[in-house]
Structure 1
Amino acid sequence: MKGILLNNLGSPDSTATKDVKKYLEEFLMDERVIDIPYWKRYVLIKGIILNFRPKKSAAAYQKIWWDKGSPLVVISERFTEKVKQKVAIPVELAMRYGSMSMEKGIKNLVDKGVTEIFLAPLYPHYAMSSFETVVVKAEEILAEKYSNVKLDVLPPFYNEPDYIKAMSNNIANHLKNFDYDHILFSYHGIPERHIKKSDPTNSHCKIDGSCCERNSVAHHTCYRHQCFETTKEIAKFLKLKEGTYSNAFQSRLLKDPWLKPYTDFELEKFPSVGKKKLAVITPAFVADCLETLEEIAMEGKEEFLKFGGTDYKHIPCMNDNNDWVDVMVSWINEWEKQ
């Protein structure tokens, strides 16, 4: 029997500092998130970051928390329920980190008689700290506990026409009554070294402004290239004029160089160059979460207005949008027929 495992990042169980600390420890100790030797990661995370970050993050979660719980979890559950109603095979939702573990999700499928799993990481783009860690975790669980279960994986869908259409329609719907003079595509940031580590050729990715434009097998695992391609395809679909949109990367951690330009720097700069009516899109996420609801919709707006902006609009993710549900269902049906 075939079954589906939808997978997203995860969330603390509550906004209590102890729950946030537990979640952050699991997340940040992942070697594909902070890719330094274990002993250094242990000292950095458990000896330094977890002494101050949980309280700060808990306060941020409190600003966006819903009555029913974490927005990311609630939205993902709604999306999953809609998908379930449209497919004939078992569907489970799991998170890479937190109590809604992948191990639980896989067990639920196996208990229903599933012997072939279609893993759908809900990340449009490939990155070792998102897509890759989900796939590796699933492989480890199956190898250890369910060696007879076959695994298939939905590839990154950053440029899939149906996804681009659904994304573009969602953006257009939210821009109907907003008179913008610029659109910022704000992607989640990753360290520059992750780009080079993910390059199978060990030579193509130089983050030099041109390597993303030169055709290469490296693009299959290049987060930066894939982000730029998403923007290009959406801009093409919406017929955006050149110069009215741009890319940036948010959510830096530590002091290492991350992908540029940085979103917060761009928000500060735009008003001074005449871009005072701004719409911000977060295409690296399919469901609204801390990084979109607090960092962009709240902090981003405050920062933009502080530096002279006049109008600011955060465009929600597709969440449980019916068009997005139909896209996922079409991919599942296509896989099921194989």
Structure 2
Amino acid sequence: MKGVLLVNLGSPDSTDSKDVKRYLGEFLMDERVIDAPYWLRTFIVKGIILNTRPKKSAAAYKKIWWEEGSPLIVLSERLQAKVQKQVEVPIALAMRYGKPSIRSGMQELYDKGVKDVLIIPLYPQYAMATTETILVLAEELRKSFFPDMTLTNVPAFYNHKDYIRVLANSIKQSLEGKDYEHLLFSYHGVPERHIRKSDITKSHCKIDGSCCKTPSPAHEFCYRHQCYETTRQVAEVLNFEEGTYSTSFQSRLGVDPWLQPYTDRTIDKFGLEGMKKLAIVTPAFVSDCLETLEEIAMEGEEIFHEAGGEEFHVVPCINDRDDWAEVLGRWINEWVAKESVMA
């Protein structure tokens, strides 16, 4: 029997500092998030971050928390329910960090007799700290607890025509009737070393402004290339003129170089240069979360206003849009049909 596991990032159980601390500990101790030796990662996370950051992060979560709970969890559940109506195979929901866990999601499917699982990481672009960590953990859990289960996965869909169409439509509909001078595509940031580590050629990725545009097998796992390609394809679909849009990266941590240009500095620069009306979209996320709702929609707007900007339009993530649920349903049904023919 076949089944599907939708996997998103995750969220604390509540806005209480203890829950936030527990969540941050699990998240930041992941070797694919902070890819330092275990002893150093432990010192950084447990010795420094978890003694200073939980209270601040809890306050940020309180700003965006919904009555039903974490926006990311609620939106993921809504998407799951909509996709389930499109397909006949069971769909479970899991989070890489927090609850429901990937193990519990796999167990839910296993208890229903599912042995053939399609994993759908809810990340358009591939990165060590997103898609890779999900797939690695799922395989570890399979070997330990579900040895007769078969796992396959939907690859990064950053350039899939269906996803690009949904994203383009969401931008067009959100900004319809709004006056703006520039659209900023802001993606989650990662350290530059993650890009080099993911380079299967071990030589292509130089982060020099040209390597992402030069065809290479490295692009299959290159987060930076995939972000710029998502921007390029959406701009092409929406017929944007050159110079009316750009790409940046948000949420850096530590002192090592991360992907640039940085979103906060870009927003500030636009305001200082006299831009009055800015729109921003966050295509690294399928579901709105702390980064999109607080860091971008609240902090980003504050930065823009302080720099002299006036209007700041934020495009929601594609969340549980009907057209997005229909796309996922079609992908799943195509997988089921293909597998059935091959069986």
Q: Distance in 2 between matches of 1:28 and 1:293?
A: 21
1:310 equivalent to 2:310? Answer: yes
Q: Distance in 1 between matches of 2:50 and 2:271?
A: 36
1:87 equivalent to 2:87? Answer: yes
1:165 equivalent to 2:165? Answer: yes
Tell me how far 1:275 sits from its aligned partner.
Answer: 2.3
Q: Distance in 1 between matches of 2:87 and 2:193?
A: 40
In structure 1, what residue type is equivalent to 2:183? Answer: I
Residues 156-194 of structure 1: per-residue CA shift (max 9 Å, x gap): 000000100010000000111210100000000000000
1:184-199 equivalence runs, <5 A: 184-199=184-199
Match of 1:270 in 2: 270
Task: Verify the 8 A CA contact 2:7 2:122 in the aligned structure 1.
Answer: yes
Q: Distance in 1 between matches of 2:317 and 2:107?
A: 29
Q: Secondary structure at the match of 2:233?
A: helix
Structure 2 segments unaligned to the other structure (5+ residues): 339-343
Q: Secondary structure at the match of 2:7?
A: strand
In structure 1, what residue type is equivalent to 2:53? Answer: R
Tell me how far 1:272 sits from its aligned partner.
Answer: 2.8
Residues 118-156 of structure 1: per-residue CA shift (max 9 Å, x gap): 000000000000000000010000011111100010000
The TM-score, its normalising length taken from structure 2, stands at: 0.98
Match of 1:70 in 2: 70
In structure 2, what residue type is equivalent to 1:207? Answer: I
- Number of aligned residues: 338
* Identity rate, percent: 60
Q: Distance in 2 between matches of 1:86 and 1:193?
A: 40
4+ runs deviating over 6 angstroms? none
Q: Distance in 1 between matches of 2:232 and 2:44?
A: 38
Q: Secondary structure at the match of 1:337?
A: helix
Q: Distance in 1 between matches of 2:137 and 2:72?
A: 20
1:136-175 equivalence runs, <5 A: 136-175=136-175
Match of 1:60 in 2: 60
Match of 1:327 in 2: 327
Q: Secondary structure at the match of 1:155?
A: coil
RMSD: 0.6
Tell me how far 1:56 sits from its aligned partner.
Answer: 0.6
Task: Verify the 8 A CA contact 2:274 2:308 in the aligned structure 1.
Answer: no
Q: Distance in 2 between matches of 1:275 and 1:184?
A: 12
The TM-score, its normalising length taken from structure 1, stands at: 0.99
1:231 equivalent to 2:242? Answer: no
Residues 46-86 of structure 1: per-residue CA shift (max 9 Å, x gap): 01110011001000000000001000000000000001111
Q: Distance in 2 between matches of 1:85 and 1:127?
A: 30
Q: Secondary structure at the match of 2:6?
A: strand
Tell me how far 1:328 sits from its aligned partner.
Answer: 0.5
Structure 1 segments unaligned to the other structure (5+ residues): none
